Structure 1
Amino acid sequence: MRISTFLLPLFSLLPIAFAADQGHWADLASNSKDGIIKLDSASYEELLASDREYSVSVVLTALPAQFKCQPCHDFDPAFHQVAASWRRKPRHVRDGHFFAQLDFADGQAVYQQLGLSSAPTVQFHPALAGPNKSNKLSVITYELNRNGLTAPPLHAFLNNLTPEGFAFYKPINPINYIAIPASILAIGLSLYSMRKIIVPLVQSRLIWGTFSIILILTFTSGYMWNKIKNAPYVAAGPNGQISWIAGGYSNQLGLESQVVGGIYGILAFSIVALTLLIPAQSSPAKQRVGVYLWLAMLVVVFSLLIKLFRMKNGGYPFALLF
Structure 2
Amino acid sequence: MRFQAVFWLLSLVQSIYCLQWDEIIHLRDQDGLIEVTDDNYDVLSKGSRPFYSILYVTTSQTNSNGEKCDLCDEFEANVRKVSRAMLDQLSEEINQDAFFFKLDVSHCKSFVQEMGLKTIPHLLVYPPHPKDGNFSWTQNQFFQYKITAETSKDPLKFAHYLAKILNVYIQMALDFDITEFSYYFVASLAAFYTFKKKILPRISRKGMFFSLCFSLAIILTSITGYKFTQMNNIPLIARNQDGRIMFFSGGMGWQFGIEILTVTGMYMWLGGSFVGMILLPRLKLRPVTFNVTAFTLLVFGAFGFVYFIECFRIKQPDYPFGM
TM-score if structure 2 supplies the norm length? 0.43
TM-score if structure 1 supplies the norm length? 0.43
